[in-house]
Structure 1
C-alpha cells in the first residue's frame, strides 16, 4: 500500500489530487489546518482517506503530524507540498516586507518544515517521491520573456509575494533533489486553475490542474528528479 500525504488537501487541487490517488489505491493523509474541514473532506473520499491536522506555519503542528504518520504507517511514500496562500496582490515597490512575510511562511518555510519533518519517513520508503506544487508565475524564464511563453503563462498576475515565493520553492526543489538523491523531488505547475486561491478566475478545472500533480506523484523509481513540469512536459525555471 502506498502511503501519501497532501498538505492543503481539504479543497481545490489538494482535494482533487487526494481523490485521484485514493482511486489509484493510495492511503492518503489529507493535511488540513482546520480539523473539521479535513475530517469532512476525508469522509467524502472513503476509508483510504485519513484526515491529518497540520499547520505548515507551526513547527509543533508539523512535528505532531509527522509523529502520527510514523506511528500509524512507519513510512511515507509520497509527499505533496500543496498548501499555499496567494497573499496580497501588488507589484514590486508596492508591497512591504511585512506583506511578503505570511506568504513566505506558508509557501516557502512551510515546505521546508514539512520536508525536514518527514524526511526520515520518506527515507524509510522504497521509492519515495516529493511533489512541490509551484506555479508558472514563479518561473524566471517565463517572466523574463512573457511574450514568448503565452502558451504557458497566459495571464500575468501582479503578485510580488506569491510569484517570488514560488520561485523560491523552485530553488528548494533543486536543492532538496541534490541533497536527497534517494528521493525524487520535483516541482509542478498545475496551470491557471479555478480555485479559491484566485477567486475561481482560473481558465481550467481542478480536474485538469491536478493532472500533473497526480502524474508526478505516481512516477516510478526511474522517474525524473530535480525538474519543473507542467501538464505538457518540462518548464523553464
Structure 2
C-alpha cells in the first residue's frame, strides 16, 4: 500500500478500535469494560491498534514522502451488531460516522489520534 499512499494527495488510514481500548473505562469499577473478562483478547488487540496508530503516524511524519498521510484510530461506540447480540445503542450508520469523517479529514486535520463521533477520546 505504501506506493499508493505516497501517490495519493489525500491519503488516509483509519484504524478501527473500540471503547474497550479506553483505559479509563477498563479501570472504572462496575463498568461493562471492567467486568468483561471474556473479551480480554478483543480489548487487548484494540488497544494494540491504538499503539500502532501512534507509531505509524509518527513514523510517517518523519518520512517526507509519507508525511501527508493522516493515520487515526476510531471507536464507533456501542453499535448493535451480532458481536453483542444487537444490544448496542447505535445503528451501524451511526457507528460509521467517525470512520467516514476521519477517512475524509482535511489536509490540515490531526494525525495519530483516537476519536469517536464527538471528537478526541482519552487513551
Distance 1:197 1:132 in 2: 18
Deviation at 1:233, TM superposition (A): 1.1
Paired position in structure 2 for 1:209? 95
Conserved in 2, the CA contact under 8 Å of 1:142 and 1:236? no
Aligned residue for 1:222, secondary structure, equals: coil
1:160 and 2:46 matched: no
If the length of structure 2 is used for normalisation, what is the TM-score?
A: 0.85
1:236 counterpart = 2:122: yes
Give the superposition deviation at 1:123. 1.3
SS in 1 for 2:72: strand
Matched, 1:127 2:7: no
Asked if the contact 1:177–1:225 (Cα under 8 Å) also holds between the matched residues in 2, the reply is yes
Q: Offset at 1:197?
A: 2.5
Matched, 1:175 2:73: no
Which structure has the larger Rg over C-alpha atoms? 1
**SS class of match (2:106):** coil
* Cα shift at 1:174: 0.2
Q: Using the TM superposition, give the Cα deviation of residue 141 of structure 1 relative to its aligned residue in structure 2, in angstroms.
A: 3.1
Please give the TM-score of this superposition, normalised by the length of structure 1: 0.45
What root-mean-square deviation, in Å, do the aligned CA atoms of Structure 1 and Structure 2 show? 1.7
Deviation at 1:234, TM superposition (A): 0.5
Deviation at 1:168, TM superposition (A): 0.5
- Give the Cα separation in 2 of the matches to 1:141 and 1:171: 16
Q: Which runs of 5+ in 1 are unaligned?
A: 1-117
Superposition misfits of 4+ residues, deviation over 2 angstroms: 154-158, 196-199
